[in-house]
Amino acid sequence: MRKTTAAIAAAATAVLATGAGLGVASASQASPAASGTEHFYLMTTQPSASRYTVIASGVFTAGGTDISGNTTDKLNLPGGTIKIHHSGRIHILVQKFDAKTCLAHFKGTATFTVGGGSGAYKGISGSGKATVNVLEIAKRNSKGQCNPNAAPKVNEQTITATARVKL
């Protein structure tokens, strides 16, 4: 159990405030000096993914990919890129493993900043809070026991982030 929850926490740390996957979607560009609330929705089903699908909506609407980094992620969106800086600590809300069902669950929150935009997102700035939610089902060993040390049978990671931005 410790290795599974530690692995989930490590994965959550690596992916918090990030996203990626589908690289094409329409973008609604914001007018110059627009500001307001931006929502970022990220997801993957790969346990150790460094790319996530991302959908952004609010000041602008776009869909694309997020390339995860240790402290900075890069959102690749139609018309440009945005950097998400997430070097803060994660506040753990839930960290559980059920040895009967093999279900592991992790949920945590952290803060992040937005900047380093290019193209249509040049000059973007802001900050916000993200919530990461990871669910996975561990594989069973030959005796039918949950094996939290093996790669999970099924994994789902979602991140919901909200930021106050200026573009």
Q: Tens digit of pLDDT for each residue in 8-53?
A: 444 444 444 333 333 333 444 545 558 999 999 999 998 877 899 9
At 156, the amino acid letter reads E
For residues 159 and 81, give the distance between their C-alpha atoms in angstroms, rounded to a whole number: 19
DSSP 8-class letter at 3: H
Helices (H) and strands (E) in the chain, counts: 1, 11
How high does pLDDT run on average in the chain? Answer: 84
Task: Please indicate, yes or no, whether the overall pTM of this predicted structure exceeds 0.75.
Answer: yes
Instruction: Give the domain ranges of the chain.
Output: 2-26+36-166
Q: Which helix (H) or strand (E) holds 164?
A: strand 154-166
